[in-house]
Amino acid sequence: MDTAVRFPTSPAAVKAAPLALSKRMNVEQAFQAIVRSCIDQVHGNEAGVARYHDSESLHQMRVGLRRLSAAFALFGDLLQAPPAIKDDVGWLMDQLGPARDWDVFIEATLPRVVGAMPGHAELDKLRVAARETSETLIGHAGAAVSSARFGRLLSALEQWIAQRGWRDDITARGKAQLKVRVTVFGAAILAQEQQRLQRRGRKLKGADPARRHRVRIAAKRTRYAAEFFASLYRARRMRPYLAALARLQDQLGWLNDAAVAQRLLDDASAGNDEVREGAALVRGFLAACADRQAGDVPKTWKKFAKAKLPH
């Protein structure tokens, strides 16, 4: 088992820096700025993950990777990322994901249960077992970030952006589209993502976890799009929309965390009698909470549906 610990001297986790796009930018220039912002966030958390096994650095690196994937998807009709880069981004997400799932369980989900049901020694045993698993997995994530494959990924991204590698196979019409003002492109993308989210969210009442998950993914992508292009709009117009979107995403996110926790509890209790009782307590608590939260989702959706896209 990996016995690495999280040192108190680890560097602060790096969040995404505010992205300031100019209305004078064209599509290509905006894409370069957005992707560079994502690369900076991933690279900025490299030491925190690889050397110090810091959970918040790991979280922020995953956010950077998700933002990068969202950028690839949003601009994908014009600027296709090389398959090798996409594959390596997916590989890195897979390496970081399990550690992040357990960290959310330990730092957010389990404390909520303990707060509602204090004094249960079974929960203490579960916490210890979960922490051991988390430390092992964040060690694996650190090894991935220390690997040559990670280094090659960052180098390939930097080179692709600097050399505008998407131009290698682009048509003359495509090159012309790259020169479109980002204000025009951004407005079209935001409208497109809003429509996608609206379609998926229409049947949230009584939705099963799979449907709620699809809405959550759409909400996350819509939020990334809004954040990418936010600087092109007045803050007083963008802020209410982002706030409504964040409330919806947070509620759906908690329900997803509860569903993930059920899977983690199955893994933790398999063949481990010491944590089985604690796992049963958490399962029951989360199932009851999820039922209540799911009932509130349609109300949150209605509030979001009233939020207007900035213009």
Contact 72, 90 (CB under 8 A): no
- What letters, b where the CB count within 10 A reaches 16 and e where it falls short, cover 192-213? ebbeebeebbeebeebeeeebe
- pLDDT digit string, tens, across residues 14-64: 999 999 999 999 999 999 999 999 999 999 999 999 999 999 999 999 999
- Per-residue pLDDT band for 5 (boundaries 50, 70, 90) equals very low
Quickly tell me which residue has 């117009």 as its tokens.
237
Q: Cα(92)–Cα(141) distance, rounded to whole angstroms?
A: 8
Domain ranges within the chain, ordered by starting residue: 24-180, 182-311
Cα–Cα–Cα angle for 151, 163, 73, rounded to 5 degrees: 75
Indicate whether this model's pTM tops 0.85: yes
Neighbouring CB atoms inside 10 A of 24's CB total 9
The per-type count for the chain, helices as H runs and strands as E runs, is 12, 0
Strand partners, 26: 181
Specify the range with the lowest mean pLDDT, choosing from 149-163, 176-190, 270-284. Answer: 270-284
Q: Say yes or no to pLDDT of 263 above 80.
A: yes
Q: Cα(175)–Cα(159) distance, rounded to whole angstroms?
A: 19
Q: Cα(101)–Cα(258) distance, rounded to whole angstroms?
A: 11
Dihedral sign for Cα 125, 128, 134, 139, please: negative
Mean pLDDT of the 94-119 span = 95
Q: Cα(156)–Cα(54) distance, rounded to whole angstroms?
A: 25
C-alpha distances in angstroms, 96 versus 9, 58, 100, 140, 184?
Answer: 21, 7, 6, 8, 36
Quickly tell me which residue has 């010491």 as its tokens.
274
- What letters, b where the CB count within 10 A reaches 16 and e where it falls short, cover 260-293? bbeebbeebbeeeeebbbbbebbbebbeebbeeb
- pLDDT digit string, tens, across residues 201-230: 988 888 888 899 999 999 999 999 999 999
- Per-residue pLDDT band for 8 (boundaries 50, 70, 90) equals low
Mean pLDDT of the 255-271 span = 93
Q: Say yes or no to pLDDT of 153 above 80.
A: yes
CATH number of 182-311: 1.40.20.10
Q: DSSP letters of 25-84?
A: -BHHHHHHHHHHHHHHHHHHTHHHHHTT--HHHHHHHHHHHHHHHHHHHHTTTT-PPPHH
Q: Say yes or no to pLDDT of 10 above 90.
A: no
Q: Do domains 24-180 and 182-311 have the same CATH topology?
A: no
What fold does the segment set 24-180 form as a domain? Four Helix Bundle (Hemerythrin (Met), subunit A) (1.20.120)
Contact 231, 19 (CB under 8 A): yes
Residue type, 143: A
Neighbouring CB atoms inside 10 A of 256's CB total 18
pLDDT at 203: 83
Q: How many residues does the chain have?
A: 311
Q: Cα(148)–Cα(231) distance, rounded to whole angstroms?
A: 36
